[in-house]
């Protein structure tokens, strides 16, 4: 069975209309989020000292779009106004987790490699 969500523990509770949350559950966004909000971040090639591409850097230049993505991705249905009250460190860590989910999906924690045939 494939995992479909990832849980993010908050450093301090988040006050919502339904009470306090100590964790947020994230799921993969759908294409609708890109269509409605635009790109939540961009990627820029990172280069080493010799000028060779050495990976990518994420540029978070559209935090409004990113927070809307988060609101769609959070299973507990927390709106973007409430997400604005996250601590800065939680926002940074949550943004990193959400970026990974947007790019690669939710990893299957129960995955075992297929046996060689």
The single residue listed with the structure tokens 């990518």 is: 56
What's the pLDDT score for residue 1?
A: 37
Report pTM: 0.78
Distance CA 24, CA 117 (A): 40
> pLDDT grade, residue 108 (50/70/90)?
low
What's the pLDDT score for residue 105?
A: 75
Average pLDDT over residues 27-42: 93
What average pLDDT does the structure give for the chain? Answer: 87
What's the pLDDT score for residue 88?
A: 94
């Amino acid at each position: 069975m494939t995992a479909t969500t990832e849980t993010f523990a908050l450093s301090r509770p988040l006050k919502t209309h339904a009470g306090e949350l100590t964790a947020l559950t994230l799921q993969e966004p759908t294409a609708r989020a890109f269509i409605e909000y635009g790109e939540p971040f961009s990627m820029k090639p990172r280069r080493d000292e010799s000028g060779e591409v050495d990976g990518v850097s994420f540029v978070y230049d559209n935090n409004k779009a990113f927070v809307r993505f988060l609101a769609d991705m959070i299973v507990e249905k927390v709106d973007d106004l409430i997400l604005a009250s996250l601590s800065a460190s939680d926002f940074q860590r949550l943004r990193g987790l959400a970026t990974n989910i947007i790019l690669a999906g939710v990893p299957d924690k129960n995955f075992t490699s297929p046996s060689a045939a």
